[in-house]
């Protein structure tokens, strides 16, 4: 099977715009393609799976984190989801309204909030994740097993670099 690996129009346009700047084009290609691929994937998840449950990708990710690791304080949940506390507040309000999570006062400090998944929220993640994974399989279908492993490894390296640069 021949796969198209040629640069997309956006890449060509960007390269024309920055051609006179002293930039690392290979690094730029990696960063831009990660961003565009993740945005496209997020949009597909929302449009094909999450929308009918009134969920955003952030809302689903919040439920996923709670499903995997259990209840946690709001600041920690925001960190694990990869969003700001203010963005989490909006997601929590929506998820609570839908009956998927609940906010509890911290046992030792009433100013702190613990977020926990309801039975309904846990059930939803168990129901939706196989659909999400089916879409993940579709998205990665043109990659060989070794390419998937290599890409995952490369992305882990990027994540560790970002974590160590902070």
Position 1 pLDDT exceeds 60: no
Q: Report the share of the chain in percent with pLDDT over 90.
A: 78
Position 5 pLDDT exceeds 90: no
Q: Looking at the DSSP assignment, which residues form a beta bridge with residue 117?
A: 101
Sequence-distant (≥ 6) Cβ neighbours of residue 70 within 8 angstroms: 116
CATH of the domain at 118: 1.10.10.10
Position 149 pLDDT exceeds 90: yes
Position 166 pLDDT exceeds 70: no
Q: What is the pLDDT of residue 109?
A: 74
Q: What is the pLDDT of residues 9-37, one digit of tens each?
A: 888 899 899 989 999 988 998 999 999 99
Number of domains composing the chain: 1
- Residue 116 is assigned to a structural domain of this protein: yes
- Residue 66 is assigned to a structural domain of this protein: yes
Spatial distance between the Cα atoms of 70 and 57, rounded to a whole number of angstroms: 19
- Residue 13 is assigned to a structural domain of this protein: no
Query: Once rounded to an integer, what is the mean pLDDT over residues 92-117?
Result: 89
Q: What is the pLDDT of residue 7?
A: 79
Q: What is the pLDDT of residue 86?
A: 92
Angle between helices 119-139 and 57-69 (to 10 degrees): 110
Q: What is the pLDDT of residue 111?
A: 74
- Residue 35 is assigned to a structural domain of this protein: no
């Amino acid at each position: 099977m021949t796969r198209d690996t040629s640069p997309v129009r956006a890449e060509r346009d960007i390269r024309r715009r920055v051609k006179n700047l002293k930039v690392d084009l290979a690094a730029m290609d990696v960063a831009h393609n990660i961003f565009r691929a993740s945005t496209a994937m997020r949009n597909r998840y929302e449009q094909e799976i999450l929308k009918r449950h009134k969920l955003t990708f952030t809302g689903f990710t919040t439920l996923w984190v709670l499903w995997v690791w259990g209840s946690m304080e709001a600041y920690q949940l925001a960190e694990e989801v990869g969003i700001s506390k203010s963005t989490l507040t909006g997601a929590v309000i929506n998820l609570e309204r839908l009956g998927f999570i609940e906010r509890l006062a911290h046992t030792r400090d009433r100013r702190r909030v613990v977020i926990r998944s309801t039975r309904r929220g846990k059930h939803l993640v168990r129901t939706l994740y196989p659909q999400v994974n089916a879409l993940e399989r579709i998205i990665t279908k043109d990659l060989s097993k070794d390419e998937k492993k290599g890409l995952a490894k490369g992305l882990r390296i990027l994540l560790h670099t970002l974590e160590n640069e902070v």
